[in-house]
Amino acid sequence: MTNVLEIKKLSKSFGDLKVLDAIDLTVSKGSTVVIIGASGSGKSTLLRCVNFMEIPSAGQIVLQGDLIGSGTGESMSYSDSELAKMRARVGMVFQHFNLFPHMTVKQNVMEGPRTVLKCNTAECERRADRYLEKVGLGWKADAYPSHLSGGQQQRVAIARALAMEPEVMLFDEATSALDPELVGEVLQTMKELADDGMTMLIVTHELGFAYTVADRVLFLSEGKILEQGDPEAVLINPKQEATKNFLRGHGSFRLPEPNLD
């Protein structure tokens, strides 16, 4: 299997605070990798370094075989235009959706193809229709984001990212800002993407979702990958004490499986 994304010895510090410490990670085509970890462990920072929303302090990012930036791992340099081109190849979904409020749903989805990829109008429309349909919101094309529920807004944000036809998608706690009853529809959309073979790197606190959808789960602690493996190994039979503690915290209030018959 080919690797879509290779992260090599990635480190990131904010001043004296070392947030990521020599992370190595490869994501193969079509796989879904879920990152879990306590608050402040560096999950967001890791995702944000992948598409250079934060500039790594050291290390390399390789996207489909292309090394981003120039230099050795210790001192890379990046040009603005190179980073912009790179980001266009990576989709990102944010906790707070960040839809453009002055554009309709459809315009939101067309914006990337139009402004960044310079697609013609017909192509932009084709993509908008296609990806809005995919997230089940074709019927909201002409609405403004403020008229949508949180769950719908997040699905539009997913469509907006998909319209760039990215090589990998990043999700940073895509459901954390949602009312509980709206979480399901967004997770469902993400699951469908995974089933379609999209390559995804997902930060989430939804362990049930991670268990069902992930090919691989990483437990991040103090800027390092402390434990990784398939969902069974990490979420059910963790080996590290820190992972066990984290899972204990998340499991304290779990209900038994509901009887739906």
Ligand X SMILES: Nc1ncnc2c1ncn2[C@@H]1O[C@H](COP(=O)(O)OP(=O)(O)OP(=O)(O)O)[C@@H](O)[C@H]1O
The reply on whether position 16 binds ligand X by CB under 6 A is no
**In the complex, which residue's CB is closest to Mg ion?**
44
Question: Is the Cβ of residue 44 or residue 221 nearer to Mg ion in the bound state?
Answer: 44
Angle between helices 150-162 and 121-134 (to 10 degrees): 130
> 111 is in the binding site of which of ligand X, other proteins, Mg ion, none (Cβ under 5 to 8 A by kind)?
other proteins
CB 4 within 8 A of CB 64: yes
Choose the binding region for Mg ion from 26-34, 44-52, 137-145, 177-185 (rule: CB under 5 A): 44-52
CB 119 within 8 A of CB 150: no
CB 215 within 8 A of CB 31: yes
> 2 is in the binding site of which of other proteins, ligand X, Mg ion, none (Cβ under 5 to 8 A by kind)?
none
Longest dimension (CA), the chain: 60
Buried b / exposed e along 167-201 (16+ C-beta atoms within 10 A): bbbbbbbbbeebeeebbebbbebbeebbeeebbbb
Q: Per-residue x/- mask for ligand X, residues 29 to 48, rule CB under 6 A?
A: --------x-xxxxxxx---
The reply on whether position 19 binds ligand X by CB under 6 A is yes
Question: Is the Cβ of residue 157 or residue 202 nearer to other proteins in the bound state?
Answer: 157
Strands 168-172 and 66-67, sheet pairing: unpaired
Choose the binding region for ligand X from 14-22, 96-104, 124-132, 160-168 (rule: CB under 6 A): 14-22
Least Å distance, CB 107 to ligand X, is 30
Taking the C-alpha atoms of residue 55 and residue 12, their distance in angstroms, rounded to an integer, is: 8
The reply on whether position 221 binds ligand X by CB under 6 A is no
Question: Is the Cβ of residue 38 or residue 117 nearer to other proteins in the bound state?
Answer: 117
Contact with Mg ion (CB under 5 A) among 31, 32, 44, 152: 44
30 Rama sector, left if φ>0, alpha if ψ -120 to 50, beta otherwise: left
**Residue the block writes with tokens 């453009």:** 100
Residues 124-153 that bind ligand X (CB under 6 A): none
Binding site for ligand X (CB under 6 A): 14, 17, 19, 37, 39-45
